[in-house]
Structure 1
């Protein structure tokens, strides 16, 4: 158990970020050599600045090793996604119940961060961002939380299992309508909240906040001997690849950075036009 002194240090010093560049990054655990991670980003063909951000790193906190991994996919600007990159994990680690009830800690931190973003809407703009976060504790337990359609997929014995939930407007139509909103479903377009947003949950989006939730879905996965790797990626990948196709595509690639880059290259070959960010975490 981490003492109050360590928690205070975490509150003061925790800041985990990855620069915004179409770049690749890889790393490995100094303390758990079986855990390695790599990441890659690629700007899409849309006529705007890159809107994806990511976090991918391992941190020792006292006797505990934390893997902190996240994909933030901004829309209508990149400022909200950038804010999440700089602040969401900090807010999670500041929660007093992080080590005793991590699900409550995650929900509270997501809510707190969304409130901060809405309060700063004059600086951050009217846009928003999806998020999928994964926290690996001592290489043994993986806690995944998400809002939106960025996705986390684990491979166990070669079989893909989705750990996140795609928050599609059609999936949450009744809830949106109960709050006074509506879901459009025009021919040739995807379902949208109030005819605008293609996800039912997100950070920011102040003008739609009454109808768009920031409450995460949370999954806890034990990392046993069957677990091989986890993929986190923005929807630019998942629009053109199924979960199993993604797992099959990298199952023989041992280097996680090379695996993340391979997934993005494969998505591009399948004509994905969106920004794409990808993290691969290997457990062997």
Structure 2
């Protein structure tokens, strides 16, 4: 067994016992170019979402990792992806689409190498959403169905929303077409239930993830969890290459909402932007989480107060784990080289931020950047 997996499993029971709360939040903290709020709610006995904010002196990184099957994959991503990103950024003296894709690839390779020897872990995976703010530019990379949306002011000073991510959920026709084009001879590639919902091979709803080795690596079985995959696949079905977008941050850009699929199931992106814009900043991520839970309860003919009283096992029938990070943008600060101390926080794990030495570049390498040029 790998050293990482052995260490992880040895501390897992202790961490599970410590998660004795349902909603976790940090009201408001500072990042390199503004403020942020983070919150999460778990459904079952153990949180499968993970998240992090890494705020350095000249960049900020946000990650939302929506795990499935077990927290193993989302925990691995939260521990490793940021380090791969930082390593690649320093090697290339830049943040680029290629740097982001490289960090995802290294994270995928490391996790697959660990679990492919152990069939009991090969059906564990995670969606992965990462945002990076650097030199006045925003980069967003995404695998799966987590999503990010920008809140900005239009020419009439009205708040508007702009989606920043492409979903890889099977409900999207373009995703189904992409899969069918790659696997034209597989009659069981897409399976529908009585409600006409699709699942890939009848087991998963997203076409891109970190992990899920049994649907990516020919020869890797999954007999202990899903008997139909006791005979390994012959060709990879899922992918791990993220969709990446970038944009120059403008003076009218006010905030970005990063969230796992649990939020977007109940709150539309325009509605989420409206909630953030019309409510106090303090604990705004928790406000979004509670808005989603209120909708989830209403759909079942209940009040949110009734949902809060439920046993955590029962909540699985009502909503998924939800993680939200709201990043406010101070455009004036984007024109400065930030001097704030580094800060690192892992959602649902840290009750308070911890110091960080995170910098995309060493000070000597940052010399050339003219902050008035953005």
TM-score by length of 1: 0.84
SS of the residue 2:65 aligns to: strand
Question: Which structure has greater strand proportion?
Answer: 1
Unaligned regions of 5+ residues in structure 1, if any?
A: 1-18
**How far, CA to CA, are the matches of 1:278 and 1:259 in structure 2?**
9
Structure 1 residues 238-259: Cα deviation after superposition (integer angstroms, max 9, x where no partner): 011111000011103342x511
1:185 deviates by 2.3
Match of 1:53 among 39, 50, 71: 50
1:135 and 1:144 in contact (8 A); partners too? yes
1:178 deviates by 4.0
- Residue 15 (structure 1) aligns with: none
- Is residue 2:263 matched to residue 1:264? no
2:67 and 2:74 in contact (8 A); partners too? yes
Pick closer, same or farther for the CA change 1:189–1:237 going to 2, 3 Å. farther
**How far, CA to CA, are the matches of 1:231 and 1:212 in structure 2?**
27
**How far, CA to CA, are the matches of 2:131 and 2:139 in structure 1?**
5
SS of the residue 1:175 aligns to: helix
> Deviation above 6 Å: which 4+ runs of structure 1?
none
- Residue 6 (structure 1) aligns with: none
- Residue 11 (structure 1) aligns with: none
- Residue 110 (structure 1) aligns with: 104
- Residue 245 (structure 2) aligns with: 219
SS of the residue 1:120 aligns to: helix
**How far, CA to CA, are the matches of 1:194 and 1:89 in structure 2?**
31
Deviates further, 121-130 or 212-221: 121-130
Structure 1 residues 85-113: Cα deviation after superposition (integer angstroms, max 9, x where no partner): 00101111111554346101111111111
1:189 deviates by 5.6
- Residue 199 (structure 2) aligns with: 192
The number of residue pairs the alignment matches comes to 255
2:137 and 2:247 in contact (8 A); partners too? yes
Please show how residues 1-284 of structure 1 align to structure 2 within 5 Å: 22-25=23-26, 26-29=28-31, 32=33, 35-44=34-43, 47-60=44-57, 65-95=58-88, 98-100=92-94, 102-121=96-115, 122=117, 125-126=121-122, 127-138=124-135, 140-157=136-153, 158-169=159-170, 170-180=173-183, 182-188=189-195, 190-209=197-216, 210-255=236-281, 257-271=282-296, 273-284=319-330
Larger RCO (CA under 8 A, 6+ residues apart): 2
1:167 and 1:199 in contact (8 A); partners too? yes
**How far, CA to CA, are the matches of 1:98 and 1:23 in structure 2?**
37
**How far, CA to CA, are the matches of 2:197 and 2:208 in structure 1?**
15
**How far, CA to CA, are the matches of 2:92 and 2:248 in structure 1?**
18
**How far, CA to CA, are the matches of 1:259 and 1:100 in structure 2?**
32
TM-score by length of 2: 0.64
SS of the residue 2:278 aligns to: coil
2:95 and 2:134 in contact (8 A); partners too? no
1:48 deviates by 4.7
RMSD between superposed Cα atoms in Å? 2.1
Structure 1 residues 155-210: Cα deviation after superposition (integer angstroms, max 9, x where no partner): 11111111011102243223323443512222226321111111111110011111
**How far, CA to CA, are the matches of 1:55 and 1:189 in structure 2?**
35
Unaligned regions of 5+ residues in structure 2, if any?
A: 1-14, 154-158, 217-235, 297-317, 331-374
**How far, CA to CA, are the matches of 1:187 and 1:92 in structure 2?**
42
